[in-house]
Amino acid sequence: MMSPVENPFRKVRNGLIALAIVLAAGTLGYVVLGYSLLSSLYQTVVTVSTVGFGTPHGDSGKIFTIVLIFLGVGTALYTFTAVLEVLIEGHMRDLVRRRQMERDITRMSGHVIVCGWGRVGREVGRFLEAAGRKIVVVDRDGDRLAGLNVPTVIGDVTDDKTLLEAGIERAATLVAALDTDADNLYLTVASRGLHPDLQIIARARNEDSETKLLRAGADRVVNPQRLGGDRMASFVTQPHVVDFVDVVMHDGSLEFRHSELPVSGSSPLAGSSIRSAQLRDRTGALVLAIRRPDGSFLTNPTPETSITPGDVLISVGTADQLFALERFALAPT
């Protein structure tokens, strides 16, 4: 919060109050000198505004007018300066903030672009921020983006220029969370053309749009209505399981976490079995499932299960255990 000295709006308020006092005092003074109320107000206004039309009668009127000129002109100038400061500072502050944000985006890589800051986009952004991911939010409505503490781009995401401003060529993932399926479809096509290796997660309102979005280049398509229905049904059939998964995945109040760890060809895990790698003894983490390169899942793998390059290990453990697993998997052979 700005201090009173720094706050230009306080200056404007003080200036207007002082100007009103000067006008009232000047009007009252001329009334005392024998002018009518309207003539007193008129004489005060033309004096303070430095128009100077008309000469007051008598020495008393001239002396009073001289004092009023000094007080009134100074007060009016102070008020005008304060108003100008508000206009210029506000514009300059926005300009400086925008320039700094553009520089921040230019230095970013591997970030996530969230397109559309509606209800779905806000939830995506909240989760990604909690996970420590760098994000850039894009929306055509600047009011939606006001007050965000993350880099933002105001513009139409169907315009390639807007996506380039968001650093799409250096991004790792784009989330298409626009209001309509048609916009998400167009955004998917445009994004895939600008960055062929970009991971694209698209939102779909209608089931018919899911296939179209996949054909257009989306890696994953999410239907919030279907997920919401599945979740509600799960609360009916397995409420405790759903609560547990929510706490582990989203809440963070439990000690345990889930993680996924891709296995490269240079990893010491490649070509070994779970038993020979001694993952549980070395790290304490438990491998719940393995996703093979063809996309299939191997759940509850046995100690003799072999780990091959391209596998993704889905594990559970504490933050320290999962970090130890990642460090061991990435250690040079």
Phi-psi region of 116 (alpha: psi -120 to 50; beta: other; left: phi over 0): left
Q: What is the rounded distance in angstroms from the CA atom of residue 322 to the CA atom of residue 259?
A: 7
- Determine the Cα angle at 174 with ends 256 and 192, to 5°: 135
Q: What is the rounded distance in angstroms from the CA atom of residue 51 to the CA atom of residue 53?
A: 6
Q: What is the pLDDT of residue 80?
A: 77
Q: Please enumerate in sequence order all residues whose Cβ is within 8 A of that of 11, keeping only pairs 6 or more positions apart, or say none.
A: 78, 82, 85, 86
Per-residue pLDDT of the chain (333 residues; tens, 9 = 90+): 344 334 556 777 787 888 888 888 888 888 888 888 888 888 788 777 766 656 666 667 667 777 777 777 778 777 777 777 766 665 556 666 778 888 889 999 999 999 999 999 999 999 898 888 999 999 999 888 888 889 999 999 888 999 999 999 999 999 999 999 999 999 999 999 999 999 999 999 988 899 999 999 999 999 988 888 888 898 899 888 878 777 766 665 566 778 889 998 888 898 899 889 888 888 988 898 999 999 899 998 999 999 999 999 999 888 888 889 988 888 765
Output the DSSP codes for 205-231: SSHHHHHHHHHHT-SEEE-HHHHHHHH
Mean predicted lDDT score pLDDT of the chain: 84
- Can you list the domains of the chain with their CATH numbers? 8-104 (1.10.287.70), 109-222 (3.40.50.720), 255-330 (3.30.70.1450)
Q: Give the residue carrying structure tokens 């061991």.
A: 328
Q: Please enumerate in sequence order all residues whose Cβ is within 8 A of that of 202, keeping only pairs 6 or more positions apart, or say none.
A: 175, 176, 184, 185, 187, 188, 213, 218, 220, 221, 222
Whole-angstrom CA distances from 158 to 182, 188, 236, 262 are: 11, 9, 41, 33
Total-model pTM? 0.62
Q: What is the pLDDT of residue 4?
A: 38
Which run of H or E residues covers position 113? strand 112-115
The answer to whether the beta carbons of residues 295 and 289 sit under 8 Å apart is no
Q: What is the pLDDT of residue 200?
A: 97
Q: What is the pLDDT of residue 305?
A: 93
Q: What is the rounded distance in angstroms from the CA atom of residue 216 to the CA atom of residue 188?
A: 6
Strand order in the sheet with 286-291: 256-262, 312-318, 286-291, 297-299
Q: Please enumerate in sequence order all residues whose Cβ is within 8 A of that of 5, keeping only pairs 6 or more positions apart, or say none.
A: none
Strand order in the sheet with 173-176: 152-154, 135-139, 112-115, 173-176, 199-203, 220-222
Tokens at 153, concatenated:
């781009």
Q: What is the pLDDT of residue 5?
A: 39
Tokens at 318, concatenated:
């504490």
Q: What is the pLDDT of residue 146?
A: 84
Tokens at 325, concatenated:
């697993």
Q: Find the DSSP H helices in the chain.
A: 8-32, 37-48, 58-107, 119-130, 142-145, 160-165, 181-194, 207-216, 224-237, 239-246, 274-277, 279-283, 319-330
